[in-house]
Amino acid sequence: MSASTGRTIPVNDSSSESPILFHDPTSEPCRAVHWFALEAGIPIRLRYTWLGRGEHRSPELLRANPCHQVPALGHGEFCLAEASAIMLYLADIHSCTEKWTGETPRERADVHRYLSWYHTNLRQKVTYDYLLPVHFLPYYRGSPRPRDERIATLRDRFQETLEQLDGFLEEKEYMAGSRLTLADFLFASELYALAIDPERDRILSPFRWICGWLERLSRLSSYAESHRQWNRVVPLFREKNATQPSERPDLSWIDDLMESET
Ligand SMILES: N[C@@H](CCC(=O)N[C@@H](CS)C(=O)NCC(=O)O)C(=O)O
């Protein structure tokens, strides 16, 4: 796989053998993979693939993932998409799968259950059904922001997802108990996206286990690094969200700002 375009940033090590992660820091699953690699000390090279500039349709990304999505991974001739598959692969090639998924078959089964639950719950109901139409697409595509009543309905629809997650976390430090697993990176990265919503605190405050867990995870130095660019963009998103976006959105500010932070 060619590594001739875009910026290549070594993470933790400069080995030319390290996998390349096609990455946009506004993407929740990208941040999850980056975060996990940092926390696990797994070397990867970041290849910024700016969604706002349409780089997910570039020939290079399409070779890595014909489904035109980030995150995608290139490791020599091997290419892989889907955040949880990528994290499992990274753990596997570094012989630390058990550390990040569980020591016993039942512990691992539990983590796999969470990784599956994520797709039709957090990802679907919070991000695709709510954050995308309400906060992202008005800026990415110029689509009209839904009316307030519709926004309230969409919010109500993911209450059950948050209730379930709060239940999973009850009396626990992390998703699988007292130690971090892949599920923590994947789930928390999704929920940190709610930071662009002015109602974020009101949405999350009824869920004490979720709030405590997000707060605990945000103290990790790997969180700070993997969410640095995103956290820089959040206040601007919130500022812009206070106004109706134009039909021809100018996204350059997002990518320019994040690129200046690379
Ligand atoms: N199921 C995928 C979802 C990846 C995804 O939704 N990627 C978005 C950015 S967050 C993307 O690349 N969208 C561009 C497109 O679909 O064309 C995963 O878990 O990695």
- Whether residue 13 contacts residue 59, with contact meaning beta carbons closer than 8 Å, is answered with no
Q: Classify 105 as helix, strand or coil.
A: helix
Domain boundaries for CATH 1.20.1050.10 within the chain = 101-260
Instruction: Report d(CA 32, CA 25) in Å as an integer.
Output: 10
- DSSP label at 96? -
Tell me the C-alpha distance between 156 and 76, whole Å: 45
As its CATH architecture, domain 101-260 has Up-down Bundle (1.20)
Q: pLDDT digit string (tens) for 69-125?
A: 999 999 999 999 999 999 999 999 999 999 999 999 999 999 999 999 999 999 999
Q: What does the pLDDT look like over 43-79, one tens digit per residue?
A: 999 999 999 889 999 999 999 999 999 999 999 999 9
Least confident of 41-55, 99-113, 186-200, 230-244: 230-244
Q: What is the structure's pLDDT at 238?
A: 83
pLDDT more than 90, % of the chain: 77
Is 190 near ligand 1, meaning CB less than 6 Å away? no
For residues 57, 63, 68, 72, the Cα torsion angle rounded to the nearest 10 degrees is -120
Closest by CA position to 27, among listed 77, 78, 61: 61
Average pLDDT over residues 188-194: 98
Average pLDDT over residues 10-36: 84
Is the CB of residue 104 less than 8 Å from the CB of residue 207? no
81 alpha carbon – ligand 1 mean position (Å) = 9
CB-ligand 1 contact for 161 (6 Å cutoff): no
190 pLDDT above the threshold of 80: yes
When mean pLDDT is compared across 39-53, 130-144, 160-174, the lowest value belongs to 130-144
Handedness of CA 218, 222, 223, 228 (dihedral sign): positive
* Ranges of CATH 3.40.30.10 domains, the chain: 8-100
Atom of ligand 1 nearest to the CA of 28: 10
As a whole number, mean pLDDT of residues 181-196 equals: 98
Q: Which fold has domain 8-100?
A: Glutaredoxin (3.40.30)
Q: Above 70 in pLDDT, residue 249? A: no
Tell me if residue 36 falls in helix, strand or coil: helix
Own/partner pairs, 37-41, CB within 8 angstroms, 24+ separation: 37/11, 37/12, 37/90, 38/11, 38/12, 38/222, 38/225, 38/226, 39/180, 39/185, 39/220, 39/222, 40/90, 40/91, 40/94, 40/96, 40/99, 40/100, 41/12
Give the CA dihedral 243, 127, 9, 65, nearest 10 degrees: -120
Tokens of 252: 């350059």
82 Cβ inside 6 Å of ligand 1: yes
49 alpha carbon – ligand 1 mean position (Å): 12
